[in-house]
Copies of this chain bind each other. A is one copy, B any other.
């Protein structure tokens, strides 16, 4: 089965300069891939000028006259710019012309537009943002929610776990993904009310629930999935980005201090490069908006070609493995089980 991805060619800090080369390079790599490039058709065609006909054959350019800017309020993106490349990209999925949509644009706008265009799956109250964070095991830990839901109830955390469970199986090929609930450890009060209730729900579910985990377990890789509310997840993500940035800045400063230290850097270069590859955040780019009637992948706004290709590849895997269909199915099963449980309780009382 071939896969068609819809790509918001205008989104992100770099737009076409990144999205077009990333798309054509992935097309060269994956022969069953088609891409619909959405945006200003003239500019896209210019950017495609030097691309070989064999690749171009599997590209469709879809015109969109507007662009959602990184700082556009959600209202503007959703209500005013009805012909934005972001919106037309989501509509490709809605209309069955593509199996997944990818954008490096403004997260808030992308979530709002995707929700409006695609709607949520039956049984899901809140879509969530899920991404991979690197871990010591050299794999990644799936963490969600990363910012879509600042206030969550326990049942939302359960649903996040259910969706991530399907994603881990479908996109990352993990057989029976383990799930950790992000909590605070040895400190005075172990967790807030919502987390305590969520733990109870997770224990009673059919998921492979490991129990509570702490912030450092994300990087230890204690569980395949870590579930938390969007406020906590966003803080964990941004804090990690900030620390990684500080550390890499320190390394650069120290090696750049004098001609002697620069010489040392030259000597140590093979090791430094290997190290850099291991912590390269570009290998983890691509956050899935889970819970929608269609697959939407958000790339980091500042993504370069390599990073954007990672997001495209994740979308391709999700589409190829029918991730959304499986999430929908999981929730139908859950709802039937709940309904049956309800009847059961009914007869008992």
Residues of A in contact with B (beta carbons under 8 Å apart):
70, 74, 106-108, 111-112, 129, 134-136, 146-151, 182, 184-193, 195, 214-220, 228, 230-232, 234-247, 249-251, 254-255, 257, 261, 264-265, 267-268, 270-271, 274-275, 278-279
Contacts and interface: CB of A to CB of B under 8 A. Distances in A.
B261 A187 contact: no
Given A215-B239, A246-B219, A261-B271, A231 B234 contact: no
14 contacts: A108-B188, A146-B187, A147-B188, A150-B184, A151-B193, A185-B238, A214-B234, A215-B234, A215-B242, A218-B242, A231-B232, A232-B232, A236-B239, A250-B278
A156 to B, nearest CB: 13
A270 B264 contact: yes
A108 B187 CA distance: 5
Given A216-B242, A230-B187, A261 B270 contact: yes
A238 B257 CA distance: 31
Given A148-B189, A220-B242, A235 B275 contact: no
Q: For chain A, what secondary structure do more than half of its interface residues adopt (helix, strand, loop), or is it mixed? A: helix
Q: How many monomers of this protein are in the complex?
A: 2
A230 B83 CA distance: 44
Contact of A216 (B146, B238, B247, B255): B238
In the A-B complex, the 10 residue pairs with the smallest Cβ-Cβ separation, listed nearest first, are A216-B242, A215-B238, A147-B187, A215-B239, A219-B242, A184-B234, A150-B192, A268-B268, A219-B246, A264-B268
A136 B185 CA distance: 28
A106 B186 contact: yes
B151 A231 contact: no
Given A147-B189, A192-B231, A216-B245, 19 more contacts: A112-B188, A147-B187, A147-B188, A149-B188, A150-B195, A151-B193, A182-B235, A184-B238, A188-B230, A219-B246, A228-B235, A231-B232, A235-B235, A239-B240, A244-B247, A251-B275, A254-B275, A255-B268, A267-B267
A268 B267 contact: yes
A46 to B, nearest CB: 30
A189 to B, nearest CB: 5
Given A189-B149, A235-B232, A270-B261, A246 B136 contact: yes
A148 B188 contact: yes
A191 B229 CA distance: 11
A185 B106 CA distance: 11
A225 B284 CA distance: 31
A240 B238 contact: no
A233 B183 CA distance: 11
A147 B184 contact: yes
A7 to B, nearest CB: 21
Contacts of A184: 147, 150, 230-231, 234-235, 238
A226 B88 CA distance: 40
Contacts of A239: 215-216, 218-219, 236, 239-240
